[in-house]
Amino acid sequence: MTEQPMVRFDNVSKRYGALTVLDGLNLEIARGEKVSIIGPSGSGKTTVLRMLMTLETINDGVIWVEGQPLTHMERNGKLVPADLAHIRKIRAKIGMVFQSFNLFPHMTAMQNCIEAPITVLGMKRADAEARAAELLDMVGLSEKKDHYPSQLSGGQQQRVAIARACAMRPKIMLFDEVTSALDPELVGEVLEVIRKLGREHDLTMLMVTHQMGFAKEFSDRVCFFHAGKICEQGPPAELFGAPKNERTRQFLHAVLEAG
């Protein structure tokens, strides 16, 4: 049996009223693959991540994770919309880091990292803390474990958010413009952590980003979105070096021009 793709979008559409955000998306992501999504704002690229995280419902199609439906479940051989228990079971494989960090402000860095392992995975507090300590060390914030988010810089908050997501041991990690809200001098430290994560962990990563340099260096594949469709995709060297599509060329020209 050939290996199932980690994630498969099967003809997925998303509409808000008359506005079609994603139009019949087909996308497969292999185990361990690093995929970057680029494109102009309003092209539906963030919606891809939000649907996979089940923050948005879908109007058509099915999303599959490791060969199991996420948005649906099988009943009598047919796919019916998934109930919450099924969604939670499959969703456990996915973690997400947000543009605006979304740390819990009333909890310390450590508490942020142990909340879900204790309440969802049922880990013992001591075990959860040991694991969180390792992760905070990985993101270089061992000394900040008892700090509250308001006492941390944006870059530090985002690194805690990455540690928090990793604490749930996801197989797929979603990064939604994770450096867009950061001051320029703080972008590097967050990207460094993501690089490290990619090297040291067997994670499938899907990221929406405006950091073209990072997308080029880090990803196995880059997808250029335009008007709710994948306009062009390929290895970064090809897509950045010799874009075939006119829209891709225009977009890259505009973005690289702006620096």
Which residues of the shown chain bind another protein in the complex (CB under 8 A)?
Answer: 53-55, 88, 91-92, 94-96, 98, 100-106, 115-116, 119-120, 148, 150-151, 164-165, 168
As a three-state string, the secondary structure of the chain is: CCCCCCEEEEEEEEEECCEEEEEEEEEEECCCCEEEEECCCCCCHHHHHHHHCCCCCCCEEEEEECCEECCEEEECCEEEECCHHHHHHHHCCEEEECCCCCCCCCCCHHHHHHHHHHHCCCCCHHHHHHHHHHHHHHCCCHHHCCCCHHHCCHHHHHHHHHHHHHCCCCCEEEEECCCCCCCHHHHHHHHHHHHHHHHHCCCEEEEECCCHHHHHHHCCEEEEEECCEEEEEECHHHHHHCCCCHHHHHHHHHHHHHC
In whole angstroms, how close is the CB of 243 to another protein at the nearest point? 33
Amino acid identity, position 41: S
- Residue (81 or 105) nearer to another protein, CB: 105
- Residue (114 or 239) nearer to another protein, CB: 114
- Residue (93 or 226) nearer to another protein, CB: 93
- Residue (73 or 239) nearer to another protein, CB: 73
In whole angstroms, how close is the CB of 244 to another protein at the nearest point? 35
In whole angstroms, how close is the CB of 181 to another protein at the nearest point? 11
- Residue (2 or 150) nearer to another protein, CB: 150
Tell me which residue of 49, 2, 55 sits closest to 22, measured CA to CA: 49
Tell me which residue of 210, 236, 237, 241 sits closest to 223, measured CA to CA: 236
In whole angstroms, how close is the CB of 88 to another protein at the nearest point? 6
- Residue (44 or 236) nearer to another protein, CB: 44
In whole angstroms, how close is the CB of 102 to another protein at the nearest point? 4
In Å, how far from its chain's centre is CA 42? 18
- Residue (11 or 119) nearer to another protein, CB: 119
For residue 217 the two structure tokens come to 């260096």
In whole angstroms, how close is the CB of 251 to another protein at the nearest point? 28
In whole angstroms, how close is the CB of 158 to another protein at the nearest point? 13
